[in-house]
Chains A and B, each alone.
Chain A
Amino acid sequence: NAGVTQTPKFQVLKTGQSMTLQCAQDMNHNSMYWYRQDPGMGLRLIYYSASEGTTDKGEVPNGYNVSRLNKREFSLRLESAAPSQTSVYFCASSERGSYNEQFFGPGTRLTVL
């Protein structure tokens, strides 16, 4: 079982470039999440998808878009990257929202120059 996988592991962008972070889970979970982790700020939720076909904003959604492509995949897109988006991005999933454990992927380290 791979659990939650994320690609790429590392990425360097220039200001204004766009990119999509990919996330997939093989646990047949209904809910998926995108977090960012910054020194001194901890982990903060960007967007989440409680079930296939739905997405909702978290604490820090500005500058991001998401797509729940199917039950397995949840992507995060930066349309015009800014240095403030330099961070480590984690994808997570749970069987059913708040009732179950969340399982995290290994993360994507993004640097925006």
Chain B
Amino acid sequence: KQEVTQIPAALSVPEGENLVLNCSFTDSAIYNLQWFRQDPGKGLTSLLLIQSSQREQTSGRLNASLDKSSGRSTLYIAASQPGDSATYLCAVPVNQGGKLIFGQGTELSVKP
């Protein structure tokens, strides 16, 4: 059974720091992995989707990597800003229908 874990549960950094969020999964036979952002009281915003054949995907200051063999993905945020404060979730589909299994999320706080 696929399980997705995100550590740490919370992270606080000063503005301007580069940071890495971690996501691990137990079954390496994945189609892809998706990173989301959730602001308090809001829905999920898709940040990046990495296909199983890719090792990296970039969008602006965000870079996501995928290592299927070790069951790990990282989300790198460069030059963090207070506006990056949110909960970041990773998720993997467990069937062709797209059923997603989510990690518990990392709550990021970027202090001015």
List residues of A whose CB falls within 8 A of some B CB: 31, 33, 35, 42-45, 48, 50, 56, 58, 90, 92, 94, 97-107
CB B111 to nearest CB in A, in angstroms, measures: 24
Q: Is B104 an interface residue (CB 8 A)?
A: yes
Could you tell me if B97 and A105 are in contact, using CB atoms closer than 8 angstroms?
A: no
Chain A nearest CB, measured from B9 CB (Å): 11
Interface contact A50-B96, CB-CB below 8 Å? yes
Contact indicator B44/A90 (Cβ below 8 Å):
yes
Q: Is the CB of A102 within 8 A of B98?
A: yes
Smallest CB-CB A-B distances: 3 pairs: A98-B93, A50-B97, A97-B98
Known: A102-B34, A105-B43. 19 other contacts (CB 8 A): A33-B99, A42-B103, A43-B102, A48-B97, A56-B97, A58-B99, A97-B95, A98-B93, A98-B96, A98-B97, A98-B98, A99-B31, A101-B34, A101-B46, A102-B91, A102-B98, A104-B36, A104-B44, A104-B45
Residues in B neighbouring A97, C-beta threshold 8 A = 93, 95-98
Whether B43 lies near A106 (C-beta < 8 A) is yes
Contacts across chains A and B counted by CB atoms under 8 Å: 68
Does B43 lie within 8 Å of A31, measured CB to CB?
no
Check B89 for interface membership: any CB of A closer than 8 A. Answer: yes
Chain B residues packing against A (C-beta within 8 Å): 31-32, 34, 36, 42-46, 49, 89, 91, 93, 95-100, 102-105
Q: Which residue of chain B has the shortest Cβ distance to A93 in the bound complex? A: B98
A102 touches B99 (CB 8 A): no
